[in-house]
Copies of this chain bind each other. A is one copy, B any other.
Amino acid sequence: MEFTAQQIAEMTGGKVEGNPSTAVHTIAKIEEGIPGSITFLANPKYTHHIYDTKASIVLVKDDFVAEKPVSATLIRVNDPYTVVAHLLQAVAQLMEPQKVGIEQPSFIADGVEISSDCYVGAFAYIGNGCKIGKNVKIYPQAYVGDNCQIGDNSVIKPGVKIYHNCVIGKNVIIHGGAVIGADGFGFAPNNGHYDKIPQIGNVVILDNVEIGANTTIDRATMGSTVINEGVKLDNLIQIAHNCEVGSNTVIAAQTGVAGSTKIGCNNMIGGQVGFAGHITVGDNNAIGAQSGIPNNVGSGKRLMGYPAVDGAAFARQAVNIKNLSRLYAKVAEIEKELKK
């Protein structure tokens, strides 16, 4: 399938500069453009690529001014990034057509209703008492335990495991291998060994959440572990029992949150961060990769390090530590001088 610059300009309300019949069949990053591809320039940092990209068409901002000749055909639009996002969505759907229907063999417990716009892949399992919304896609080998709810338009990718009684909102995406609702890690010491504390709570995931591959979110001991609206969790993250993650907080891969910790809204949390249990983190914090957070955190902080400190203090610490050998030498010299 090919589109011409003219066709794309009409679809996007843009203005062609160059040959309107230039045709493309794929999308690429500007630095990886190939003939027959369309690309875009949204971040001024990458402007230098436009002069030697091999892409056939480049989407640029209305007010882009070239400082050298550009061989690609340009399409000027108001917001190239948004236009590309829409193009990507269209391409994504072409590349992975929406699945519909029930593949066999699959296991759907008696009495569970599946609307006709849903997909249930082969070897998927849906337990007793589940409520599955409209247009839900449950991929092969996914497991939905007894009495779970899954809201409209949510996508459960292959091999996801959702234990009994968990609640998944609307427009949620859970990626392959994620485990939702396994038992929280709770044991009571008893004469040198440990007794299991039954975990009778659940996990509640609100609307518009995306959860990465092989991430684990444990069910609460009592009550719920809660992932609020719009949260985005990357791969291999651990969310322990009774945690709460506030709306629109974004967490990168391999971060761990220990039991009962509450994280607020709109935080940006790097990869491999560790949060101690039973602490509270406010809103709008930026926490650097590999940080360790032992105590409560307010709001609007930039933290980094282990144990984490303010971002600027962390940079200073790193320099201070690097220069320590010189400091030791200097102090030794001062001592020597004093002895004289």
Contact = CB atoms under 8 A, between A and B. Distances in A.
Interface residues of A, number: 105
Interface string A301-335: 00000110100010011101111110110110011
A290 interface: yes
Contact of A175 (B179, B266, B337): B179
A29 interface: yes
Contacts of A300: none
Contacts of A169: none
Interface stretch (A8-16, A58-66, A68-76, A231-239): A231-239
A160 B210 CA distance: 21
Nearest to A305: B306
Contact of A335 (B271, B309, B322, B334): B334
A193 B235 contact: no
Contacts of A327: 327-328, 331
A185 B252 contact: yes
Nearest to A97: B146
Given A91-B200, A212-B216, A331-B334, A107 B96 contact: no
Report which residue of A81, A173, A214, A327 has the largest number of chain B beta carbons within 10 angstroms of its beta carbon. A214
Given A193-B248, A254-B254, A198 B85 contact: yes
Contacts of A92: 198-200
A145 B125 contact: no
A158 B143 contact: yes
A159 interface: yes
A116 interface: no
Report which residue of A230, A266, A272 has the largest number of chain B beta carbons within 10 angstroms of its beta carbon. A272
Interface in A125-164: 125, 139-141, 143, 145-146, 157-159, 161, 163-164
Given A289-B274, A320-B321, A253 B253 contact: no
